[in-house]
Amino acid sequence: MDPSAEDSSNADPKLAELGNALAQRTALDCRQCHAVGNQPAQGDDKTKIAPGINFALVRDRLRHDYYQRFTLDPPRFDVNTKMPKLAPDGKKTKITTILEGDARRQFDAIWHFIGTAKFEAE
């Protein structure tokens, strides 16, 4: 695998913007469990009991091909995961207004958003 394929500088700004929209409470709600850099997860006390990986760390810890397979079917990789299966049929999510609900394209957009996530110096 080409290491440059994982470089966050390869994040497409337009896809990152769509990914950010998908991560919000009004869409797939990734931010409920996942922090983004210094910004904490936005969930309530019930969702904060099983926080997800900080998006600023994802590209350092996961390869894109694994990320794509995992996001399509999290329980396949960990039956005890708290992450929901956002594309029950493996093809579409409930958010049809962004990228026609195409799960692979949406998760790819979120990957680009993750590529822009970083910790800000305090």
Domain assignment present for 19: yes
CATH at 56: 1.10.760
**CA-CA distance, 92 to 22, in Å (whole number)?**
13
What's the confidence (pLDDT) of residue 18? 98
Domain assignment present for 47: yes
Domain assignment present for 106: yes
Domain assignment present for 34: yes
For residue 121, name the pLDDT band (cuts at 50, 70, 90).
Answer: low
SS3 call for 64: helix
What's the confidence (pLDDT) of residue 44? 85
DSSP alpha helix (H) spans, 41-102: 55-61, 64-72, 74-77
31-83 per-position pLDDT tens digit: 999 999 999 999 888 777 778 999 999 999 999 999 999 999 999 999 999 89
For residue 116, name the pLDDT band (cuts at 50, 70, 90).
Answer: very high
Q: Could you tell me the pTM of the whole model?
A: 0.87
Domain count, the chain: 1
Give per-residue burial for 81-108: e unless 16+ CB within 10 Å, then b.
Answer: eebebbbeeeebbebeebbeebbeebbb
Domain with 108 in it: 12-114
